[in-house]
Amino acid sequence: MKIVIGCDHAGFGIKDAVIKHIEEMGHEVVDVGTYSADSCHYPVYASAACKKILDGECALGILICGTGIGMSMAANKHKGIRAACCSDVFSARLTREHNDANMLCFGERVVGIGTALDLVDAFLGAEYLNNGNHVTRVAMLADIEKSN
């Protein structure tokens, strides 16, 4: 798969290790920045990453900031993006399986590098359970987007 990754300054400290891990899993990574620890604004990088998914270049994405929350809020403003902010492995797997999440967000200030890599494994290793009520509910999310 082709995976897009983005971060702000508060996620920059673990971004390279996350990229290396994803590449070792056999995936290709598109890095939309930020490229230094200088203070920056997370919505810029959330948007850049979301565009890569929405234009079809990348299948899934990872966004890292201090908490993961700002990134997930910004990402979820994009129609067609289903971003989940996770700090536990169970949620990272289930959000792929049940919510068809296409963006995983987490916070460098919340999770250590070990948990970050486990979150990535769980998210990228899971598949959407494309049936029954899951399909109905994900379609309902799209309906909410259309009505707003």
Give contact residues for ligand RB5 (rule: CB under 6 A): 8, 10, 42, 65-67, 69-70, 107
**Smallest separation, CB 108 to ligand RB5 (Å):** 8
Is 98 tagged catalytic? Answer: yes
Which residue out of 58, 65, 86, 105 is catalytically annotated? Answer: 65
By C-beta, is 73 or 126 nearer to ligand RB5? 73
Strands 28-31 and 103-107: unpaired
When CB distances to ligand RB5 are compared, the closest residue is 70
Shortest CB 10 distance to ligand RB5, Å: 3
H/E stretch holding 18 reads: helix 12-24
Provide the angle, in degrees to the nearest 10, between the axes of the packed helices 113-125 and 89-97.
Answer: 20
Rank residues 69 and 126 by Cβ distance to ligand RB5 and give the closer one. 69
Query: Is residue 40 annotated as a catalytic residue, yes or no?
Result: no
What percentage of the chain's residues is helix, strand, coil (to nearest 5)? 45, 15, 35
Minimum distance from CB of 49 to ligand RB5 (Å)?
14
Closer to ligand RB5 by Cβ: residue 61 or 107? 107
Nearer to ligand RB5, 6 or 70 (CB): 70
CB atoms within 10 A of CB 61: 28
Which residues in the chain belong to E strands, given as ranges? Answer: 2-7, 28-31, 60-65, 83-85, 103-107
Q: How far is the CB of 102 from ligand RB5 (least distance, A)?
A: 20
The strand pair at 28-31 and 2-7 is best described as parallel
Residues designated catalytic: 65, 98
